[in-house]
Structure 1
Amino acid sequence: MSATPEPASADTTSDDQDVLYEVRGHAAWITINRPHRRNAMSRRTVEQLTEAFVEAGEDPDVYAVVITGTGDKAFCAGGDMKEMDSIARSGKQIHVPMTGRHRALFEVMLETYKPVIAAINGHAIAGGCEIVLSADVRIAVAGATIGLTEARRGMGANLGSVLLPRLVPRAVAMDLLYTARTIPVEEAQQLGLVNRVVPREVFAEEVQRYVDEILANSPVSLRRYKEMATKSWGLPLASALRLNVGPNPYLSEDRVEGVRAFLEKRAPAWTNR
């Protein structure tokens, strides 16, 4: 059984596409599609990933987003080293984080105000690990590893060096950054970086089951949670409680429907309004 759910639409499987995009139900599935390079990210891959997250964020029929990789070898092996070396040999400079048109990917992920689930189908290394860190929930296949290995290559882990110390104790984060070691997802789960570790033979089913569990809830509430949690991060409690960003579920049609469905003992029919 494939670890990654296969796209249903024929036009999403083109060899020309580094990233596959498909909406199934109310979930957008974004798949890094470079298995021959262990799903490493070229400049084009980064551009296509950014575009995919922008599209998912703007689509009112998308209530949640899943990011995964093609195959069972790697979720994403980070930046494409062959491309980086080719650029350097040509006398040009690779892109620098937070500059130019490449600055946006991780920010776009963090600011996609819908649940973002990383379905980690294989190893998530360097930039691949940073994609994982930018997601809200992380479900990993057993036996995979994750790590920020940039120090071994003279890179900077710009996102990881900022975000990782906010997700785990600082000493743990600095240890992982300084040593550039990869860790099993089972250890990452103990640290709180990974939510669930699932055997490969049931990975696809478990990811879909979890997505369906999220989609059973009001998309208005989901967007509210994501935007409040993101924009209140680091604020004092009194300020965060008064931030009031995102759609207001208390004034929404979904709130009316949710209460009525409960009283009528039926499943709610959400309208995302």
Structure 2
Amino acid sequence: MENEVLVEKKGHTFYITLNRPRSLNALTLNTMAQLHDAVEEYKADEDAFVAIVTGNGRAFCAGADLIDWVAERTPEEERDRARLKRQKGDFIGFSQECWKPIIVGVHGVALGGGFEIAISCDIFVATSDARLGTPEAKRGLAPGIAMIKLPRQIPLKVAMEIMLTGEDRFPVQRAYDLGLVNKVVQVETSWSDDQKRTAVLTACEEIAAKMLDCAPLSLQAIKQAAVRSRTIPLREAMHLDFLDLALNSEDAKEGPRAFAEKRKPRWTGS
């Protein structure tokens, strides 16, 4: 199996990179399987505190590779296909299963499944000229994950307009104004694709650096509380034990100790 997804760790930052640049990182079933494995590796690495997801080449991700998805397969290949489809759902739902923070950096396009990956991350950074949208209905398909997630992140009427029109050029600035995108990286039309990717990656790394100033278990407690409490009544949410993860840790002792000693904390994630 080719490396359609690359993983690398620098310090406490875990990099996940879509790596099918000749096809705008379009998603094959193998890509989804490797994305699933990459997130599982990130979750299991106790020394990785924050992840950054980007795409190589001209774009973040153009969505599903439709040629791959409709190709004829043997019964055995079809069973593998069904398994990989389940992993696709698992990956795009990862933000509710991985309590470590995940930042996405989008340049070029993030359409269909690529857009769904982006809105599934905790922090969404995009270049000013990026193309966003859900064109699935124009292909007789439906944006399976976006249908559920997008109306929870922006006003319903706007989400419906995007999905019901098969929008594939939703303005990044409007996405920012609606709170869907956290940061817009201004780029020039004269810039190369590599320059745009570098710019969005740098912006992601700046946010990651701020996160790394925080205790990793505190970040996990915050994310878990923010995600899980959205689906339960407020009174019930207030009685969940989100804080125990952070308050019963060694880092909870290190933070006040470092403050008293006037030095930077040395977080261990334990």
1:87 is displaced (CA, Å) by 3.4
Distance in 2 between the 1:152 and 1:95 partners?
23
Distance in 2 between the 1:198 and 1:96 partners?
38
Matched letter for residue 233 of structure 1: R
Q: Aligned to 1:76, what secondary structure does the other structure show?
A: coil
| Cα gap change, 1:97 to 1:51, in 2 (>3 Å) | closer
> CA deviation digits over 1:121-143, x for unaligned, max 9?
22100000000011010011120
Q: Structure 1 residue 261 and structure 2 residue 246: aligned? A: no
Check conservation: 1:95, 1:102, Cα contact below 8 A: no
Q: Aligned to 2:240, what secondary structure does the other structure show?
A: coil
Normalised TM-score (structure 2): 0.88
Partner of 2:177: 190
1:103 is displaced (CA, Å) by 3.4
Distance in 2 between the 1:115 and 1:249 partners?
15
Q: Aligned to 2:231, what secondary structure does the other structure show?
A: coil
> CA deviation digits over 1:29-64, x for unaligned, max 9?
000000001000100000000000011011110111
Q: Structure 1 residue 146 and structure 2 residue 143: aligned? A: no
1:94 is displaced (CA, Å) by 10
Which residue of 80, 94, 109 corresponds with 2:65?
80
| Cα gap change, 1:141 to 1:213, in 2 (>3 Å) | same
| Cα gap change, 1:165 to 1:93, in 2 (>3 Å) | farther
Matched letter for residue 64 of structure 1: V
| Cα gap change, 1:94 to 1:246, in 2 (>3 Å) | farther
1:219 is displaced (CA, Å) by 0.2
Matched letter for residue 184 of structure 1: P
Which residue of 48, 58, 64 corresponds with 2:50?
64
Distance in 2 between the 1:102 and 1:132 partners?
14
Distance in 2 between the 1:98 and 1:228 partners?
30
1:111 is displaced (CA, Å) by 1.2
Partner of 2:111: 125
Matched letter for residue 188 of structure 1: A
1:102 is displaced (CA, Å) by 4.1
Partner of 1:5: none
Partner of 2:5: 19
Check conservation: 1:148, 1:176, Cα contact below 8 A: yes
1:179 is displaced (CA, Å) by 0.7
| Cα gap change, 1:177 to 1:95, in 2 (>3 Å) | farther
Partner of 2:245: 248
1:93 is displaced (CA, Å) by 9.8
Which residue of 14, 19, 24 corresponds with 1:33?
19
Distance in 1 between the 2:83 and 2:152 partners?
19
Check conservation: 1:53, 1:109, Cα contact below 8 A: no
Aligned-residue sequence identity (percent) comes to: 35
1:247 is displaced (CA, Å) by 5.2
Normalised TM-score (structure 1): 0.87
Matched letter for residue 78 of structure 1: G
1:238 is displaced (CA, Å) by 0.7
Count residues in correspondence. 258
Distance in 2 between the 1:244 and 1:128 partners?
34
1:233 is displaced (CA, Å) by 1.7
Q: Aligned to 1:173, what secondary structure does the other structure show?
A: helix
| Cα gap change, 1:97 to 1:191, in 2 (>3 Å) | farther
RMSD: 2.5
**Equivalences for 1:44-123 in 2 at 5 Å?**
44-71=30-57, 73-87=58-72, 100-123=86-109
| Cα gap change, 1:100 to 1:143, in 2 (>3 Å) | closer
